[in-house]
Amino acid sequence: MGAKPQAPTLAEIVYHYLGLFRRSSREVEFERAQAQFVQAIQRTQSVDEIRAALALDIRSRQLPVQMKSPAYERLLSLSGRTPTLLREYAQEMYDFGPDFKHYADELWEEAKYLDGKA
């Protein structure tokens, strides 16, 4: 009997997603990769694995909010709601434009509140 196939890592899913931009890809392929990422992010217990996946997008900035937001939510759940992480997440949401400004403002305000408690 063969070994059970391993699920792809978050970094592998992100690498695949970003690779879809380099070839003629259909929307359904992007959606499938997004869904696979969201499913995998819910299973991961490793902050480093999430960070590695997000790091692949530092230059291209092509990951959509449907992937970045769940990644940051998972980071918050694994490592706690620190002011630094909340600001990082807020900045990502600001970068997605005015539709996400309200949520980014809430994250930024929470970071300021936590700074005041320290």
pLDDT score at 1: 56
**Per-residue pLDDT at 3:** 73
CA distance 55 to 104: 20
Q: What pLDDT does 2 receive?
A: 65
Q: What value does the mean pLDDT take over residues 36-48?
A: 97
Rounded to whole angstroms, how far apart are CA atoms 74 and 91?
16
Distances (CA, A) of 76 to 1, 19, 36, 80, 83: 40, 28, 20, 5, 10
Statement: residue 19 has pLDDT above 90 = yes
